[in-house]
Structure 1
Amino acid sequence: MKSRTLLAGAGFCILAAVAIESADRYLFRQAAAAVAARVDGLTFAGISAEPWRGEARIDGLDWRRRGSSLHVRAVKFAPPRLFPLAGAALAGLGEASADDLTLETGLSVYRIKRIVLVGASLSSAGLLQLFDPKNTEPLAERLVALTAASIAIPEMTVETKTGTATQTFIYRDILLNGISAGKAAEANIAGISFSILDPRTGDADGAYGKVSAKDVDLVLAAKILSETRDQENEPKRELFNAIDIDGFHLGGAQGELDIRRLTAATVTGRAPLRPWREAATAVAEPSTSGAQRSALLAAFVDAFGSDDLTATEIGLNFRKEANATRLTIGRASISLLDGPRIDGVEAQNLVFARPSGRISVESLSFRGLDLRPLTNSDRAPNLLGEDLRPDFEQIAMTKLEGRLTPTEDADASSGSTFEVERFAIERAAPKDAARSGLNVSLDHFTAPAGDGGVFSTLAAMGYERLDLSSRLDVIWSEASSELAINSFSLDGADMGSLNITAQFSNVTLDLASRDERVAAAAAHSVLIKKLDLHVENAGLFDKALAVQAKNEKQSVDEARQSDILKATLLLPALLGNEAPARALGAALAKFIAAPKNFSLQALAPEGIGIADLEFVQTPGALLKKIEVTAAANQ
């Protein structure tokens, strides 16, 4: 917004050069008229100069050009006290001011009661070159010639209409210092308040605290706001070195958002590929699809970059009567933002609370995010389509704690708590670009095993808490349509472990088709060719056998012998009583007798699918299609 003010004020502020170079009223009027003649659409209602008082004035300045207009009630110029008007051009302008400025751009209307520019200098030749219609250089680039000690705006109101929404922003005490070569060494805003009126989505209002920025490139800011870029890969340039916002608040009928502090370092930018006005109007249109809206917003993000963005003490409240929800984040940061590519996102001390429970997370992080898939506005062919999900390298979470509160009509014991030490998802990165995979890890999911709870069966076995860890390593090849579960493991403290590996074929993206018939057909085509299972007992089977014996009113030895008999005789009979079935029963009986470990391998060279399970007449007939080997206590 500061850059647009500079653009709007440049015409009248640097007219001071003409006033300074004019030794009397006639010369000033002549120079001002020459400028008006050279600038299309520029008119003055009145021009006056009083050299003996050191003041020049333009009344009723109007400038209309390409759908935009600028009106200023009065512009005044005064040289430094130590220099007369005729010589002031050599030393620089003392002060220029404008009252009641209105700038209309088609999308927004800017209203400024007063703007004061101190210490500016520009020759009349430079002024004419700045507004010369034959000059093909963009206006934003021509502003590099402007130099000033400061620009001050006590108050500026900006009203923008997009679709059904009307946004009004009020900026207080804008001050730009050390303006040279189109850059401001420092920019400050005492505060910003705003309101959003929209009958479709509801009204909202809010405010920013003090805003401070260093090394602001006003020319680049003007280009970003008013121009478009021709080259998609045009490099970003530094927009400002640092920015600090002391607080933010947004409130509406649906809820409130508060941020204690926002900071950013080395913010870069470039002009958008599409004019902001067109993009903003398209986003606001109700007919714009979600995918198209995401693409437009992603294009906006693509125009900017930053080394570091940080927000502290974030609070988000959702107002839903009895189901009011609050999310708080102690600190959130984004590192190395380059348009849709983000090196890392971190959030610390997250708390999500509502009447039904509370969830807290010590840290949540994302690595290697790429939002470019979201820029595709086409409808994805399937639910896993690349244009429906951002790419990432890692998602990690530490110290997750949850407490679920029972509902009013439920018993108090139905409430539960749980904790997770760490949870992470990492993308597998094989050399073959046609393959993709995931590594998922869960460390120490713990929960009480009290009576009446979710894990009451474990409580009956004598466990006080569940302590479970898990790993998943899976790779999918689109070219071969093969899915390999290299490892899926469960490890329970004082229980034991389970590890599974498997190989599937005919796994295609049609499984995620939007067409249910296509998805069902794809599921029926999936074949499992290999399954390996390995179990290590560390107490779970012994305790389960003890509970079984108690329920059947038997001794543990009696229950064990009964299970051994079932494994030796009943299981093989159900499976056709062939040699593989008897070998499986024998291995299982050996494990039941002394449960240490058990391994099972099933191979199906031709593959087994859902159709085989649907049409098989007996388990024995299915076993004939599979090569099964089993072993115990090895």
Structure 2
Amino acid sequence: MIHRTGRAHPARAALASACLLALLAGTGIVSRPLPASAQEAASAVQDVTLSDVVLAFGTTRLEAPRLTVSGTHLSKDEIAAILRTDSPEPWAARLGRLNAASLTIPELRFVHAPKDGARQSVVYRDVAARDVRAGRIAELAAAGAAIAMTGVPGAPAEGTGTYGRIAARDLDLAALARLYGGTGERPADPKGAAAPALGPAQIVYSAFSVDDVIYTDGSGTTARLARLEGRDVGGRPIPGGWSGAVDRLTEIDPDRIGDAERAKAGAILADLIEGAFAGAVEARGFALSQIRPGRTAGRPDASEQPLLFEIARMSASMPRMEPGSPDAGASFGLEGLSFSQGATRGRLGRVALTGFSPASTAAALRRLSTEGKPGAEPKPDAKPAPVLGTLSIEDASLDLPVEEPAKPRGKPAPGRAAAVEDAVRRAAREKGAERGAAAQQPPAKIMRVGMRSAAMTFGPMRDGVPTTSRLSLSGITLPAASVSEVPGLGSLAAYGYGDLDLDATVDTAWDEGKREVSVREVSLSGRDMGSLRLSGTIGGIGPEMFDTDPAVSGLAMLSATAKSLDLTVQDGGLFDRFIAAQSKVLSLKPEELRQEYVTASVLGVPVILGNSPAARAIGAALGQFVTKPGRLSLSARTKDAAGLGIAEFGTAPSPGAVLDRLDVTAKAE
């Protein structure tokens, strides 16, 4: 795989292919000064050709052996002035003077050589820009590109790749120059807080597309992308520019990061989060393949087998974030996701994240970046916490190979029979070697785990904690034998269940003002089994309960109190199967065993719970449920409005002492 310090380089190449390419076509070239006698009249429409033009800035170098500017009123000197590297005039102002019917570059080279010794080069073919007016290109296209990366720390060898056709519409070179090159330093804030990124939001291009991307790194991992396209893509100028921000991030070693580097990274990330937006971006036909040549004896280890990872479609929408405005909400989606490695296979039909906004994270990162600075106020609540929105998953499945237990070998045959047996085994091994080791192995037994749908919704964040959350899982399917060692589920196979089909829901809400957590629903249900539903209220839950320091959160937990509990059990066939299985084990008739459970419920449970009226009500309801399983409901409320503390549960002399402090109702239907 690609080393972490090299990951920014493919990203930079992709940016160059879809976005930076346009800048290169209009800004990435500077010619050698021409004599004044060779200048053309500015008023004449003409074609201007420049040769061996070069632009170098920082660690990046751009080269165009030939550039033709057609249908322009500009002279060679005026074009040279626009493209001068050392011009004191900003790029955006100069590019605003660029007008031409077309720009053509047969070959455009982009070379990036950062300080870590890595070198990235991209060669674009047949670059053409049509209808250039005031630095804005109506249509931009390149026939393709080739990329190569060498010297990437940790990478075993050179990485190479190609792009197919690249195109963009309504591309604003001046806006791209502002974004890529930056706008200088941030204005000072007397309170020490970081100001928002400079510059207004601006659209760079209305649409772009890149076809047939292929990249192979030195380890043999190959990534393919059939098509990448987007619309209404733009951003805000940030200090140092997008290119400078990426360079500064790659210079930070996450393994040796200190407070100063962490603050620096926080400020850069906040700039990048707020600095980019897109109406829509879509990628189709992504595939990642990795081949590992190593093999072990017999069947290859799973980690050594070829890996294939595919995504049919990826999509994203990232609305612009306006300072002081409500979060617009971004969305991300994956469709047709699958992977395979040997007998292990997985699939996700669809994954979607909606209502997500990183604005709160950017704000927290800015606060973190100013901690410790003179004049800066402490920000104890500055925890990066984006608005998470809703994550949904559909049609998930996972196939896992199950290792069969080894069969015990028989005793060796005595004398001559042993020699004959050894000869037969050697012949079988030799024959198997000729046919391949894989042919000798029986197909692995497969266990399939699936899920029809899942949804996770998170409400507004408070100090990094969602105030409301809901998790729902539908159609969780798995073999009953796979949970044989799970407490409470291990006997399901013995009750006659082959494949389980389960649903589960957890729905909670935190009210900081009341210092309460409402457990609105915790439920579990199974096909041909039944359901269990739980709800209740827990008091004494304040912000300190979610502190990252275990000592603080652990101490706060001692102040939690139970206020209410509602429990509903609906039988759907599980209890009758339990009675049938247990009666066989105990050599009793099912009705005899059922009657014993009725007696234990009506007489034994009240004794255990203190024989109070509430205890007898619980016992009677249990007895009715065992006699004729249906619905069992239990409700409990503390007599004290403050609730019953956790410590009081632990120090109560008996269950009856706890029950005496509750108002309890129980019934069976």
Q: Does the pair score TM above 0.5? A: yes
Aligned residue for 2:96?
144
Instruction: Say if 1:429 and 1:437, in contact at 8 Å, map to a contact too.
Output: yes
Deviation at 1:190, TM superposition (A): 2.5
Instruction: Say if 1:485 and 1:501, in contact at 8 Å, map to a contact too.
Output: yes
- The structure-2 alpha-carbon separation of the partners of 1:443 and 1:124, relative to structure 1 and needing over 3 Å to count, comes to closer
Q: What's the C-alpha RMSD, in Å, of the aligned pairs? A: 3.7
Deviation sequence 1:458-482 (CA, Å, 0-9, x none): 3322334322223332111223321
Alignment gaps of 5+ in structure 2? 1-19, 187-195, 295-301, 322-326, 372-379, 408-442
Distance in structure 1 (CA, Å) of the matches to 2:290 and 2:211: 23
1:7 to 2:41 alignment: no
Give the secondary-structure state (helix, strand or coil) at the position aligned to 1:554: coil
Deviation at 1:136, TM superposition (A): 9.0
Aligned residue for 1:182?
135
Distance in structure 2 (CA, Å) of the matches to 1:406 and 1:542: 31
Aligned residue for 2:359?
372
TM-score by length of 2: 0.75
Give the secondary-structure state (helix, strand or coil) at the position aligned to 2:395: strand
Aligned residue for 2:51?
98
Deviation sequence 1:158-212 (CA, Å, 0-9, x none): 3324452524222222222222211122212222313153225666443322211
Deviation at 1:438, TM superposition (A): 1.6
Distance in structure 1 (CA, Å) of the matches to 2:357 and 2:235: 18
The structure 1 residue matched to 2:398, chosen from 380, 402, 421, is: 402
Identity, in percent, stands at: 26
The structure 1 residue matched to 2:448, chosen from 407, 417, 440, is: 417
1:260 to 2:294 alignment: no
Superposition map of 1:509-588 within 5 A: 509-588=543-622
Deviation at 1:234, TM superposition (A): 4.1
The structure 1 residue matched to 2:386, chosen from 380, 387, 390, is: 390
Aligned residue for 2:344?
357
Distance in structure 2 (CA, Å) of the matches to 1:379 and 1:460: 59
The amino acid that maps onto 1:103 is L
Distance in structure 1 (CA, Å) of the matches to 2:122 and 2:369: 39
- The structure-2 alpha-carbon separation of the partners of 1:360 and 1:436, relative to structure 1 and needing over 3 Å to count, comes to same
Aligned residue for 1:20?
none
Give the secondary-structure state (helix, strand or coil) at the position aligned to 1:525: coil
Distance in structure 2 (CA, Å) of the matches to 1:456 and 1:414: 21
Distance in structure 2 (CA, Å) of the matches to 1:396 and 1:266: 26
Aligned residue for 2:272?
300
The amino acid that maps onto 2:357 is D
Superposition map of 1:291-330 within 5 A: 293=265, 296-297=268-269, 299-317=271-289, 322-323=302-303, 325-330=307-312
Deviation at 1:369, TM superposition (A): 1.3
Superposition map of 1:591-606 within 5 A: 591-604=625-638, 605=640, 606=642
Q: Which moved more, 1:603-612 or 1:212-221?
A: 603-612
Distance in structure 2 (CA, Å) of the matches to 1:451 and 1:439: 27
TM-score by length of 1: 0.78
Distance in structure 1 (CA, Å) of the matches to 2:554 and 2:337: 40
- The structure-2 alpha-carbon separation of the partners of 1:275 and 1:346, relative to structure 1 and needing over 3 Å to count, comes to closer
Aligned residue for 1:345?
332
Aligned residue for 2:151?
197
Deviation at 1:409, TM superposition (A): 6.0
Work out which of the two has the higher radius of gyration on C-alpha atoms and give 1 or 2.
Answer: 1
The amino acid that maps onto 2:355 is G
1:508 to 2:542 alignment: yes
The amino acid that maps onto 2:279 is D
Distance in structure 1 (CA, Å) of the matches to 2:117 and 2:539: 52
Deviation at 1:348, TM superposition (A): 0.9
Distance in structure 2 (CA, Å) of the matches to 1:349 and 1:128: 50
Alignment gaps of 5+ in structure 1? 16-28, 33-48, 50-55, 57-76, 78-84
Aligned residue for 1:240?
205
Distance in structure 1 (CA, Å) of the matches to 2:480 and 2:633: 29
- The structure-2 alpha-carbon separation of the partners of 1:297 and 1:208, relative to structure 1 and needing over 3 Å to count, comes to farther
Distance in structure 2 (CA, Å) of the matches to 1:347 and 1:451: 29
Aligned residue for 1:467?
501
1:225 to 2:177 alignment: no
Deviation sequence 1:512-560 (CA, Å, 0-9, x none): 4332222322233222211100112121111112112122111111111
Instruction: Say if 1:356 and 1:406, in contact at 8 Å, map to a contact too.
Output: no
Deviation at 1:365, TM superposition (A): 0.8
Deviation at 1:435, TM superposition (A): 7.9
The amino acid that maps onto 2:659 is L
The structure 2 residue matched to 1:172, chosen from 124, 147, 169, is: 124
Give the secondary-structure state (helix, strand or coil) at the position aligned to 1:548: helix
Aligned residue for 1:159?
111
- The structure-2 alpha-carbon separation of the partners of 1:440 and 1:240, relative to structure 1 and needing over 3 Å to count, comes to same
Superposition map of 1:410-489 within 5 A: 415-428=446-459, 436-449=467-480, 457-489=491-523
Deviation at 1:129, TM superposition (A): 9.5
Deviation at 1:265, TM superposition (A): 1.5
Give the secondary-structure state (helix, strand or coil) at the position aligned to 1:405: strand
Distance in structure 1 (CA, Å) of the matches to 2:80 and 2:149: 40
Deviation at 1:233, TM superposition (A): 7.0
Distance in structure 1 (CA, Å) of the matches to 2:313 and 2:82: 46
Aligned residue for 1:209?
164
Give the secondary-structure state (helix, strand or coil) at the position aligned to 1:172: strand
Distance in structure 1 (CA, Å) of the matches to 2:81 and 2:221: 52
Q: Greater strand share, 1 or 2?
A: 1
Distance in structure 2 (CA, Å) of the matches to 1:127 and 1:417: 65
Deviation at 1:349, TM superposition (A): 0.8
- The structure-2 alpha-carbon separation of the partners of 1:469 and 1:413, relative to structure 1 and needing over 3 Å to count, comes to farther
Distance in structure 2 (CA, Å) of the matches to 1:536 and 1:147: 76
1:270 to 2:229 alignment: no
Deviation at 1:262, TM superposition (A): 0.5
Distance in structure 2 (CA, Å) of the matches to 1:127 and 1:166: 33
- The structure-2 alpha-carbon separation of the partners of 1:456 and 1:597, relative to structure 1 and needing over 3 Å to count, comes to same
- The structure-2 alpha-carbon separation of the partners of 1:292 and 1:478, relative to structure 1 and needing over 3 Å to count, comes to farther
Q: Which has the higher contact order (CA 8 A, sep 6+)?
A: 2
Instruction: Say if 2:404 and 2:445, in contact at 8 Å, map to a contact too.
Output: no
Give the secondary-structure state (helix, strand or coil) at the position aligned to 2:548: coil
Distance in structure 2 (CA, Å) of the matches to 1:172 and 1:139: 22
Distance in structure 2 (CA, Å) of the matches to 1:549 and 1:437: 45
